[in-house]
Amino acid sequence: MAELNEKSMAINNVSCKGGAGDTVDLAKNAGPHDASAEIINAKLILNGKRVDSVSGRTFAVRNPATQEIIGYVPKANAEDVHNAIEVAKRGKSIMAALPAHQRAQILKKTADLIGSHHEELSRLLCRENGKTIRQCRIEISTTQRLFVDFGEEAKRIGGNYLPMDAVPGLERMVAYTIRQPIGIVVGIVPFNYPAELFAHKIPGALAAGNAVIVKPPSKCPLTVLRIGELMLEAGLPPEGMQMITGSPDDMGDELFTNPAIGMISLTGSVASAVEIARKAAGTLKRTAFELGGTDPMIVLEDANLALAVEAVVQGRLTNGAGQICCAVKRVLVQASVYDEFLKLLVERVSRIKMGDPLEEDTELGPLISPSDAEKVHAAVQKAIQMGAKCLIGGERVGAAFYKPTVLVNVTPESCVMEEEVFGPVAPVYPFKDLDEAVKIANDSSFGLQSCVFSENVRNALKVAHRLEAGGVVINGASSFRPGNLPFGGFKLSGIGRESIAETVREMTEEKAIIFNDVL
């Protein structure tokens, strides 16, 4: 292939032809995948029972690849929310009284049940979410492992002995701390990794002895609801977890304002977090927000370029169709290797297979909905109007598919560099030296994850320590989140950290107990 640069590329500033999916007629080939699958009539879970909304209303869940209806889910209203809170109030004392070994056993049994239903859950997730079947299997395996890990953590919640003789006059005192559940935790789960992100919140809250109220994502609630059923089968007290589905507009504000709620944990948008924080402020609830990012990837001139290219493909363009909060969002490449990097990237992107997500060799499925695909396309077109050029991709296919896209001639002020684009779009920008790369990376309202590629550990660490982000991955994509690492962001990317240990800690209260005059 001839050396790739902006002058040698044939660019269409309106749309960019070529690349992934050219040999696949998605409109025809993304047809009914599981023709034998019945329509799912899902229910709310209240007090251990599957029930309809008081309103009697439902909404449809569609397969993003085909736009077929695969299920109907109740549209909860304010009365349903109130009922869930009333059950959770009873569950608060029931869960707090449940011994740690029983909480651990319930979570471990749930993990076993997830394992025995692994393929069923994976295919259901694929059908309602649109990620490829291989990605869905990985998500369900991660979900299963998180339940195991939180089950183990339930048995490790401890306090500290405090040496009171450190203070003159207190030598005859003994003091120690314990951790107790915060009470009722509301978990709001997003659409992009619904099972896994449910598992980053809810088993942690239960491990700590809390009752929970779960709001699954409206666009793909079915897998989360099914896991909820398995949790009850595993022995979770019916008062311990309530699950309500529907639109926040129909549910009212009680989930955020009722003083019985101790904590709200959201993975979602900045706008949602600001609104929830405003409503929760009146009762000073604890909040944990994991929000968006414009996660930078810095490729230094001494990097392994093939490894960096694959990180863009896997960490931005294919996994979750780019709908990942910590995905690579801005690709900053040192000018001396910029052309070579682009050549390798475009060649690799041209080989991405986009198509039916249930096919084993598909690399890229659809976005979650046609409207989300349109948002991505609008961002790409806006960037082009601002002077960007599209090297490959830049097209919608069918209702919700979007070709993996590489943009150049972007500036740090371009919309695709300043804003979070939730789709398979990689803007690539050349920088002169390390200082400029760090400056551009940090010039953002967000600071979730980031990554740097370099074969020189000193250079890599120089960048890592200067980046304003909750996590920095060296020689790997920023879309990296094992359960044992604290995960969260700087600035508008969120409040608090989630991990096996820190989630449980955040969802408990610390109490000091002092014995006076005992020694």
Active site residues: 290, 325
Query: Where do we find the tokens 């369900």?
Result: 140
Q: Do 347 and 314 touch, CB atoms closer than 8 A?
A: no
Nearest Cα neighbor of 331 from 362, 300, 376 is 300
Q: Between β-strands 425-431 and 405-408, what pairing exists: parallel, antiparallel or unpaired? A: parallel
Please state, in angstroms and as integers, the Cα–Cα distance from residue 473 to each residue in 81, 469, 477, 480, following that order: 40, 10, 7, 8
Q: Do 345 and 336 touch, CB atoms closer than 8 A?
A: no
Q: Which residues of 124-150 are buried (b: 16+ CB within 10 A; e: fewer)?
A: bbbbbbbbbbbbbbebbebbbbbbbbb
Quick one: tokens of 24? Answer: 């696949």
Q: Between β-strands 490-491 and 446-447, what pairing exists: parallel, antiparallel or unpaired? A: antiparallel
Please, which residues have CB within 8 angstroms of residue 515's CB and are 6 or more apart in sequence? 173, 174, 175
Please state, in angstroms and as integers, the Cα–Cα distance from residue 69 to each residue in 65, 329, 373, 438, 475, following that order: 11, 32, 18, 46, 41
Q: What is the 3-state secondary structure (H, E, C) of 280-294?
A: HHHHCCEEEEECCCC
Quick one: tokens of 264? Answer: 């709200």
